[in-house]
Amino acid sequence: MLLIKVLLDPSKDVRFWCAFALGQMREKEAIANLRLLLNDSRPVRGFHSVSKEAFDAIVDIERREKGKRCPYCLRSDAG
């Protein structure tokens, strides 16, 4: 998947938004590559660091994997 490959882009902005998109998509194949960004402390202007976005994406993906309830939804996030 292109978004997973682009997680290694030289631009912190590109890495940040790819991590965000993969988390929203709950793309479990991205977890290993997202973990590579956990030490990327560079902030994106107006937001937080790439590492925080990668961490949030991993949490979102793993929450879906474990069938836990989405804290932002009224329905279960599994399925």
Residue 39 to residue 1: CA distance in whole angstroms: 23
**pTM for the structure as a whole:** 0.78
Task: Spell out the per-residue pLDDT of the chain, length 79, in tens.
Answer: 898 999 999 999 999 999 999 999 999 999 999 999 999 999 999 999 999 999 999 999 988 766 655 555 544 444 4
Phi-psi label, residue 27: left if phi above 0, alpha if psi -120 to 50, beta otherwise = beta
User: Which domains occur in the chain, in start order?
Assistant: 2-65 (1.25.10.10)
With DSSP H G I counted as helix, E B as strand and the rest as coil, what are the percentages for the chain, rounded to 5?
Answer: 55, 5, 40
| pLDDT of 75 | 47
